[in-house]
Structure 1
Amino acid sequence: MLYGICNLSIVPLRAEESNQSEMTSQLLFGEAFEVIEKQKEWSKIRLTFDNYEGFIDNKQYTEITEDFYLKLKTEKQYFSGEMIDFITNNKNELTTIPLGANLPFYNAGKLQINSELYIYEGAVLSEEKSKNKIAQTAFNYLNTPFLWGGKTPFGIDCSGFTQMVYKLCGYKLLRDANQQATQGEVLSFIEESEAGDLAFFDNEEGEIIHVGIILSDYHIIHAHGKVRIDTLDHSGIFNAELQKHTHKLRIIKKMI
């Protein structure tokens, strides 16, 4: 088995081995993965964090040894807490990193990929946070434009948004909304929910296609056009600007 790690700021994960293929997700700096199949220009990979699979350009990652990979899996996880920042290597070259980027083997401002050492002087996140911090963390992404497959403050989709907010608070969610809906504990009514719980929404075929984070006082923050705050009721999400419901409520789940 081959292993790799993202050593660039933000790298697209694609549905097929082509730059024209749909971007299904993104890798942020420091994210590790298994290489399922390596071809001439593309590799099919499985991300360590959530087991999500897709194709990545071979020019946009670096291979790591099995020993490095296994140590990385067991090490305490550290993430960048800055909206955007940079790291420097021993050649004094800069690499930008976004909010939620991984910091492999972080220790006292230093991190490492293979034999290359980096310096990072920004805020670091590493601990599980209390549930009441989830909504507060979500506000960091307010007004971020919607981007299918996105996971950063410069473009994010609905499930990327919920996954990243939970990640920054120290919890793991799967990547897609329908996958996240298999996690957690079902709540019967909105009245039972707390800020930080997740609400899921379906289409006419009954497929879960959207997710958002419940706030207090019957509001929800979610990525729809942009990360925005709307009203939540028993029917779904009500958009006051459009004066209509935009999403049909399917289920509410308590994740922590």
Structure 2
Amino acid sequence: MLDRALDEATRERASASGIDWRNAWAGTDSGGTLRAWPEAAAVALDVPQLVQSLVPSQWLTPSTLLEPMRRDPAHNSEMISEVLGGERLRALLRREQWWLVAGSDGYVGWVHDWVLQDAPSNPTERATFRYGRPHGTLWLSDNRAACPLWLGMELFAVQGPLGERGGNHLLRTSTGQEGWIPADELMPPGPLPDMRALMNVLRSLTGIPYRWGGRSPMGFDCSGFVQFAAGLCGVTLERDAAQQAGYGEAVGLEPDQWRAGDLIFFGQPADHVAFLDARDGLLHCQGQVRQDRLEGHPLQARISGVRRWWSAPGA
């Protein structure tokens, strides 16, 4: 537990920052450096610097649609996750040109400051639509591409007389790009209505490549795919498979107890996660988003748990 390794002053500043450190672990080495592992991110922090540098209540947001979150404050450091346009990030501390931030899922890592800007203190604007295809394009009026789009991306109405034209809507992304999108590529802004709708949407993502640290339809890792899917239902899951394995209701390991949409975990602690697609099907990201039969698959011998996340409180 991180708070056990920190002195009282540091704990007070951590509490004032609004960050829940309970899922972190830390220890100090002989040089007084705090090695903290919030989720998967091994972040080396000097304890006195941490005390002085924790930001009490600063929120940031990316100015671009997709940016890497890195393990250490360096461009050649491992990408451990991604931050998405419109996401509110809790600023923890700054080191030269890098911010240590906690994402909306609580995941902690480093993001370069050039892609970050202050987030609105009290965001009130609600999305008008979400993008409803795996991938697409926001078009300018002269048919030039403004930016890429992907499934679930929030889109906001642009006020004025040109808001709708010939079956197209003039919309704005969370990062400010404006352009036209055909109406038949849009879906309502709220959560998907049920598990059948989610599974149908997820099957449309087959073939999207595996991307270490990815959590968008530009490329997923296994737990990023699951987290993204849950988000389409209005549920925020944690970032790593081992964390997701604690969410929701435990289901027995007998296949007759399983339902489509349950999460099945492999390894102890879990290092891979998939959706069950009917009783003997897997829908997961392994190499790419794909459908497989569980029976006879190498993963079958590594099953460690099944969870019904969508019956959990708030699902």
Identity rate of aligned residues, in percent? 23
- 2:290 and 2:284 map into 1 onto residues whose CA distance is 6
Q: Is the contact between residue 194 and residue 214 of structure 1 (CA under 8 Å) also seen in structure 2?
A: yes
After TM superposition, the structure 1 = structure 2 runs for residues 233-252 of structure 1, keeping only pairs within 5 Å, are: 233=295, 238-239=296-297, 244-245=298-299, 248-252=302-306
Which has the larger share of strand?
1
- 1:51 and 1:20 map into 2 onto residues whose CA distance is 23
Tell whether 2:118 aligns with 1:118: no
Q: Is the contact between residue 125 and residue 168 of structure 1 (CA under 8 Å) also seen in structure 2?
A: no
Unmatched 5+ residue regions in structure 1?
A: none
| Deviation at residue 232 of structure 1 after TM alignment | 2.1
- My pick for the range that moved more, 8-17 or 95-104, is 95-104
Q: Is the contact between residue 66 and residue 83 of structure 2 (CA under 8 Å) also seen in structure 1?
A: yes
Q: 1:191 matched to which residue of 2? A: 256
Tell whether 2:56 aligns with 1:4: no
Q: Is the contact between residue 137 and residue 168 of structure 1 (CA under 8 Å) also seen in structure 2?
A: no
- Measured at CA, do residues 95 and 5 of structure 1 come closer, stay the same or move farther in structure 2, by a change above 3 Å? farther
* Cα-to-partner distance string for 1:84-130 (whole Å, 9 max, x where unaligned): 334479xx98232332334468887544769x573453514422321
After TM superposition, the structure 1 = structure 2 runs for residues 103-252 of structure 1, keeping only pairs within 5 Å, are: 103=155, 109-111=170-172, 118-119=178-179, 121=181, 122-128=185-191, 129-188=193-252, 189-202=254-267, 206-233=268-295, 238-239=296-297, 244-245=298-299, 248-252=302-306
Q: 2:136 matched to which residue of 1? A: 85
Q: Tell me which of the two structures has the higher relative contact order, counting C-alpha pairs closer than 8 angstroms and 6 or more residues apart.
A: 1
Q: 1:52 matched to which residue of 2? A: 107
Unmatched 5+ residue regions in structure 2?
A: 1-56, 164-169, 311-315
Question: TM-score, length-normalised on structure 2?
Answer: 0.66
The SS at the match of 1:191 is helix
* Cα-to-partner distance string for 1:27-46 (whole Å, 9 max, x where unaligned): 22222211111333111111
* Cα-to-partner distance string for 1:123-176 (whole Å, 9 max, x where unaligned): 144223211122212112212221110123332110111111221233222211
Question: TM-score, length-normalised on structure 1?
Answer: 0.80
Q: 2:308 matched to which residue of 1? A: 254
The structure having more radius of gyration, on CA atoms, is: 2
Residue identity in the other structure for 2:232: L
- Measured at CA, do residues 94 and 194 of structure 1 come closer, stay the same or move farther in structure 2, by a change above 3 Å? same
- 1:106 and 1:31 map into 2 onto residues whose CA distance is 20
